[in-house]
Each structure stands twice: as structure tokens, then as C-alpha cells.
Amino acid sequence: MTCSLFHPGLLLIFSGLLIPFIHGFKRTLFILIIPCLSLLSLWSMSFGSDCSIQYLDYELILINLDSLSRLFITVFAIAVFTAGLFCCKQASSTELSAAYVYAGGAMSVVLAGDLISLFIFWELMALASTLLIWSAQNEKSYKAGMRYISIHLLGGVILMCGIAGYVYETNSIAFTHMQLNSISTWLILCGFLLNAGAPPLTAWLADAYPEASYSGMVFLSAFTTKTAVYVLLRGFPGTELLIYIGLFMIFYGIIYALLENDIRRILGYSIINQVGFMVCGIGIGTEMALNGTAAHAFTHIIYKALLLMSAGSVLYMTGKRKCTELGGLVQSMPLTAICGIVGALAISSFPLTSGFISKSMITQASIDEHVLWIWLLLQAASAGVFLHAGIKFPWFVFFQKDSGLRPTDPPINMKISMVFFAVICILIGIFPNILYNILPYNVNYQPYTVAHTITQLQLLLFSGLAFFIMLPLMKRTLTISLDFDWFYRYLAPILAKIVVNYLLNAQQLVNKFLISLKSSLSFDDKLDYQLSIGKSVGLIIFFFSILLLYFVVL
């Protein structure tokens, strides 16, 4: 094994395992220093491959650094530091440990130069993020975590099959640009897309993330989907299919977010919506589009974390998370409201915020490629984002009718975290070259043209007008939204019970048949026959009983 520098991801993973043994102020200091050391280690490295391990006939490359991977690791480290500060005094050691291992796994995936090490850290992320969901320690989080890990283990199996086939076909484990010319690469793409929240298994995100703790969802929003965006950027840039998948995700997220009553599920669907913009940019595949995707992933991690910190602060201080239970909190939580509004403006691509200078690169790429229909859909989607995240979330939580709740702003560490990310959102929006200078390709783009600024302001203005005109329709009631997870949460258990009942009846018929044959067979014949039939039926009953138990647990 050769490794000249600290591995940023492994540093977080091993540090996460140590967190349960550190207490008090030392724990707070530890969880804040480690992401800083990880970031320092990253920027001390030069581009190229480093840190390799010999495994069988293959060389595993644990560090393959370039401008794209450095960008993602940088924002991951910033997210870990700020999220750690947000919950350092309140979160349990178990939750923090799972969060840091999870973040370290995401960093390690981004740095992986081969498919084997990528897969190992990919699965580590799935396990650690499940523990993070379970750290909320209630029945809902347990069941949501079970569904979450089931979906992600399925994705892991699909990805593993694709990698095995790809290695067999090419005799190489290098993780590079792939062509969709075999079943193996299709399976790899499907495994990546599942983590991105692509259809049809999209509902896992809005199902599981909101059941984490007030701080757990902040960590969850930063890594799984953005790691998927990274591997898609690395492995499948310019794949036209991703344009259509991305557009579906965009409008799917908007529609469900508009229907939702739960503020954390609104923001969960909003993650799918925003990742859809990134997937669409990867599908367009030009340097402008890929730069826009990378930049949007960077800004999204920050403003989405800010929105979730605002929502998490409301949940922490009130214990409530439904629009119908909240309102008027701006009176007693002014700082939380201001930070939430900054995040809402950033996700809506309001000028002078970070979202404006990143998302516009993707729409500009569609114009450069002369695909007007994509540009029109992206513009319409921007209006939809402003409706559900830019206005709906802050309006129903901090304004609208007074709920009578009078919580104060959260503890100081939570306030500092929100202010820090709010400042970053505005700073990048005003000085976009801070971000543009570290993008993977040279940037020849000026976001603040008169035409672009006026167009965006007009779009946001009319979206806001439409929201308040349709306000009676936008008000939520105590209802739920049916999503694709209905098929495996409700329909699948019913079908499993029906199948098991039929099999039990079949077993009774077989038993009666065996009894009727006793008189006509010799003792040895009876024994052999019963054993052969009994084993077959017993295995079938056992299999479907396990299946039934699995769905009952879900």
C-alpha cells in the first residue's frame, strides 16, 4: 500500500468511529476540527492518483484527484463542519458517529479511481445513512430506515452486478467515462440513478429523510444524491437519456412539494427537484452544462442545508412540522426566519444569491445547444421551485395566520450555523468567481447580464403573484400524498399475505393427499415420498413466510 497524504474520507470515517468515546467540550472541538483537517489535507494534494492498494490482480486507487473531485470534497467538508456545529451540543454521539462515517464514505466515493473501492464506500454510505435515520429513535424512523436500507441494498446489488459484468467485459476496474453499449453499463447507470432519486424508485427520499432527527436530515441532504450526481458526471456525461430523467425529476418534485403539508417532506421533494436540474445538465453534456451541474451541486448543498437548518430549528423548538400547525413564527424566531428566507431565495435563483449564478449555467447550456424546448421547461420549472420552496415554505411557517406558538430562536450553535451558510449563499451570489474559479472547465459565462437578470426577476415576480392569487388552493389540509412507495408499503404486504394463505391451503391439500397414499405405499416408500414432498413444500412455505415477515416489519 502506498499513500503519501491523509485520505480526507478515511480521516472522517475513523474519526466518526472515535466520537462515542469523546465527551463534553472535547467532543465539540473534535467534530469541528476533523472536517477542517480533511479540507486541509485535500488542498495539500496535487492532482493525480495516489494512495493505492493491491487487491488480487487489481490495483485499487483510493485517491484520484482532479478539479471535479476537489470541488465536491470541498463542499462536503464545509457541509460536515457546519452541520456538525449545528448539532454539536444536542445530537447524540451515535448520530454524530453515523453522520461522520456517512460523510467520509461520500468523500471516499468521490476520490475513488476504481469501481471496486467505489462500490465498497458506496455501500458504507448506505449503512451509515440508515443508522443516521434510526438515530431519531422512534417507530417511524425505524420503519422508514428499514424501507430506506431495503431500497439502497437493492441498488447496491444492481450496481455490483453491473460492475462485475463490466470488469469481465473490459478486464479493467478503472472508473472512467462509460458508454451504454452493454447490460453491465446499463446496470451501473441504474445503480447510480437510484441513489440520485430517479424514477421509479424516487419516493425513498421523501419517505425516509424527514423521519431523521432535526439535524440528521441536514447531513442526509448533502451526500447521497450529490455523490450520485458526481458519479454520473464522471461516468455518463452527455447521455441523452438523462435529460428526460432529469426533467421528470424536476416536475415530479415540484408537484409533490406543492401538495405536501409536512415542511420536511416539502424540502425532501425539493431535493429531488433540484437534483433533476443536475441530471438534466449531465445529459446535455457540454462543458457549460457540466460546469453548471457541478456549480449547482455545490450551491445546492449549502442552500438546502440552510433551509433544512431553518426547518430543523422550528422542529427542535416547537416539536411540529406541518404547515397546518405552524404560522406567525417570524415574531419569535426572527433570525431563523431571515436565514430560511435567504435559503428560499437561493433555491429560487434570486439575483445576488448562489442559486442564480449556478442554475443559470444549465439553462444557458440548453440555449447554446439550440434546444428551445428544454430551456422552456427549465424556465417553467424555475417558477415552480419559487412556488413551493421560495414562497410556500417560508410563508406557511413564518407568516400566514398566527398559530399562537411563541418559541425563541434556537441555541447559539444552531444560529451561528444558519448565519454562516446564509452569508455563503449571498457571498457566492455577489462574487460568482469564488466558485467559478474551482470548476472543472474554464468558465466563459457572465450571469449578471441585463437580459438574464430581468428575465429571472419577471419569472419570480409572476410566480409570486400566482401564488398569492391561488393562495386558497395552496393552503394545506391534514392529508397525505400517495407516491410510488404505496406499492411496496401497502400493496406488497397485501399480496404477500394472499400468496402465503394460498400456499398454506396448498400445504393442507398436500398433507391430505399424502395421508391418502399411506395405505397404498410401503413404509420405505412412504418415508421417501413424504420427505421429498415435505421438503419442497416446506421450502416454499419458509420462503414466503420470510417474505411476509419482511413486509410486516416494513
Rounded CA-CA distance 279/240 in Å is 10
pLDDT at 119 over 90: yes
Q: What is the mean pLDDT of residues 525-544?
A: 51
Rounded CA-CA distance 403/212 in Å is 25
Q: Give the type of residue at 129.
A: S
Cβ atoms of 313 and 353 within 8 Å: the answer is: no
Grid cell at residue 273: 427537484
Instruction: State the pLDDT at residue 529.
Output: 45
Helices (H), 348-411: 354-368, 372-385, 393-398
Nearest CA among 204, 220, 173 for reference residue 79: 220
Helices (H), 470-522: 471-474, 486, 492-517
- What digits encode the pLDDT tens for the residues 364-380? 999 888 888 998 999 88
Cα-based angle 342, 344, 349 (whole degrees, multiple of 5): 95
Kindly tell me the sign of the dihedral angle through the C-alpha atoms of 114, 118, 119, 120. positive
The CA-based dihedral angle spanning residues 45, 48, 51, 57, taken in that order and rounded to the nearest 10 degrees: 180
pLDDT at 475 over 70: no
Instruction: State the pLDDT at residue 552.
Output: 46
Q: What is the mean pLDDT of residues 125-144?
A: 93
Host H or E run for residue 50: strand 48-55
- What digits encode the pLDDT tens for the residues 94-110? 999 999 999 999 999 99
pLDDT averaged over every residue in the chain: 87
Q: 3-state DSSP helix/strand/coil percent for the chain, to nearest 5?
A: 75, 5, 20
Tell me: cis bond preceding 200? Omega within 30 of 0 counts: yes
Residues in CB range of 374: below 8 A, 6 or more apart? 243, 247, 280, 284, 366
- What digits encode the pLDDT tens for the residues 377-404? 998 888 888 877 778 888 888 888 887 8
How many CB atoms within 10 Å of residue 319?
11
Cβ atoms of 284 and 243 within 8 Å: the answer is: yes
Instruction: State the pLDDT at residue 462.
Output: 84
How many CB atoms within 10 Å of residue 473?
8
Rounded CA-CA distance 32/35 in Å is 6
Residues in CB range of 14: below 8 A, 6 or more apart? 104
Nearest CA among 107, 278, 155, 138 for reference residue 210: 138
Rounded CA-CA distance 127/153 in Å is 9
What percent of the chain is predicted at pLDDT more than 70?
90
How would you classify residue 53: left for phi > 0, otherwise alpha for psi between -120 and 50, otherwise beta? Answer: beta
Instruction: State the pLDDT at residue 526.
Output: 47
Q: What is the mean pLDDT of residues 285-311?
A: 95
Q: How far apart are the first and last CA of the chain?
A: 42
The CA-based dihedral angle spanning residues 163, 127, 88, 196, taken in that order and rounded to the nearest 10 degrees: 50
Q: What is the mean pLDDT of residues 5-28?
A: 90
User: How much is the pTM?
Assistant: 0.89
Selected residue with higher pLDDT from 174 and 49 = 174
Rounded CA-CA distance 367/286 in Å is 11
Each domain of the chain, given as residue ranges in start order, spans 237-483, 486-553
Instruction: State the pLDDT at residue 499.
Output: 80
Dihedrals φ, ψ of 112, to 5°? -65, 135
Grid cell at residue 489: 408499503
